[in-house]
């Protein structure tokens, strides 16, 4: 079983719509959680950290459910430029040995 | 300010040859990481330097891989001899300091390695 699991998608989203997707992690000792964005053939870039209380950054909302060991990302008012692969990333310890999920591909269409 | 730079962007070599990848982190970043993504798999951690010291090399697949960071600036990752299964994208990342695992990692654009 993978340590971080994501639905690979693609999620086909009409422009302006809302899309949400989750990832699950298996290691209950995981301490830090992130969503990274990766455009085709580009490097991953940090989208947002995920905090226990949930957090919002503009049109993006992240939630963490430690009891069920999942993280969610919601994108409101989707833009064409939101088309990308969204990587769920977990950090088990105080260091930075990040564990990546396989990514969820989102395609926003006009 | 320059980001994390990696060289080369692409490398095509034959099985059994040697390849050296280079990473220049953001100036002032003590932490440097190597990750890789092989075909169809998720990005996986290889190792972590703090300045010139290897903090964690638990992700290195085998002894064909050698990473160095002499002087605590740029890093090299050498694969010798390369095997077919080494093909993939090798990413380097850097961060400024350790803050309990929450600091932002800046990734380079990667080196696409193809072993034929």
- Chain A residues with CB under 8 Å of B91 CB are 43-44
How many helices (H) and strands (E) in chain B?
0, 11
Two tokens, residue B35: 């990750």
B53 touches chain A (CB under 8 A): no
Q: What is the DSSP letter of A78?
A: -
Put simply, the answer to whether A44 touches B43 (Cβ < 8 Å) is: yes
The answer, yes or no, to whether residue A71 has pLDDT greater than 60, is: yes
Per-residue confidence band for B18, with pLDDT thresholds at 50, 70 and 90: very high
The minimal CB distance from B48 to the residues A32, A95, A101 is found for A95
CA distance A48 to chain B (A): 9
CA distance B29 to B93: 10
How big is the A-B interface in CB pairs under 8 Å?
Answer: 57
- The whole-number pLDDT of residue A29 equals 85
Using the Cα atoms of residue A87, residue A8, residue B92 and residue A108 in order, give the sign of their dihedral: negative
| Contact list, A86 vs chain B (CB under 8 Å) | none
Tokens read off for B60:
């290195």
Band of residue B100 on the pLDDT scale cut at 50, 70, 90: low
- Please indicate whether, in this complex, the C-beta atoms of B107 and A45 are within 8 angstroms of each other: yes
- Quick one: average pLDDT of B34-62? 93
Residue with tokens 């830090």: A32
CA distance B16 to chain A (A): 27
> Tens digit of pLDDT for each residue in A4-18?
999 999 999 999 999
Say whether A98 and B105 touch across the interface (CB within 8 A): yes
CA distance A28 to A11: 28
Q: What confidence tens digit (pLDDT) does each residue in B49-94 have?
A: 999 999 999 999 999 999 999 888 999 999 999 999 999 999 999 9
Contact A100 B44 (CB under 8 A): yes
| Cβ atoms < 10 Å from Cβ of B63 | 7
Give me A23's structure tokens.
């990832």
pLDDT at B80: 96
Question: What mean pLDDT value characterizes chain B?
Answer: 92
Q: Is B41 on the interface with A (CB under 8 A)?
A: yes
Residues making up chain A, counted from first to last: 110
Q: Which structure tokens are listed for B64?
A: 């064909």
Task: Indicate the residue of A2, A94, A102 with minimum beta-carbon distance to B101.
Answer: A94
DSSP H or E run through B79: strand B75-79
Flag whether pLDDT at B99 surpasses 60: no
Q: Which of B90, B105, B108, B112 best tests the A interface by mutation, with the highest count of A CBs <10 A? A: B105
Phi, psi of B78 (to 5 degrees): -105, 135
| Residue whose token pair is 């330097």 | B49
- The predicted pLDDT at position B24 comes to 97
By C-alpha distance, which of B27, B9, B16, B30 is closest to B97? Answer: B30
- Per the CB < 8 A criterion, the answer to whether A12 and A75 are in contact is no
Q: What percent of chain B has pLDDT over 70?
A: 95
């Amino acid at each position: 079983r993978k340590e971080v699991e994501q639905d690979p998608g693609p999620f086909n989203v009409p422009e302006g719509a809302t899309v949400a997707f989750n990832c699950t992690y298996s290691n209950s000792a995981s301490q830090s959680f992130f969503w990274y964005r990766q455009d085709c053939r580009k490097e991953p870039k940090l989208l947002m950290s995920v905090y226990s209380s949930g957090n919002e950054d503009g049109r993006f909302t992240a939630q963490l459910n430690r009891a069920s060991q999942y993280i969610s990302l919601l994108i409101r008012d989707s833009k064409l430029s939101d088309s990308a692969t969204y990587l769920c990333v977990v950090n088990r310890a105080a260091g930075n040995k990040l564990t990546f999920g396989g990514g969820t591909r989102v395609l926003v269409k006009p | 300010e320059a980001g994390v730079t990696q060289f080369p962007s692409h490398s095509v070599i034959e099985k059994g040859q040697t390849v050296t990848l280079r990473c220049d982190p953001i100036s002032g970043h003590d932490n440097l990481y190597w990750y890789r993504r092989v075909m169809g798999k998720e990005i996986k951690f290889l190792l972590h330097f703090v300045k010139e010291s290897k903090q964690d090399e638990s992700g290195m697949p085998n002894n064909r891989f050698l990473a160095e960071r002499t002087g605590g600036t740029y890093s090299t990752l050498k694969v010798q001899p390369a095997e077919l299964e080494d093909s993939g994208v090798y990413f380097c990342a850097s961060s400024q300091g350790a803050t309990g695992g929450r600091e932002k990692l800046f990734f380079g654009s990667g080196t696409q390695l193809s072993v034929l």
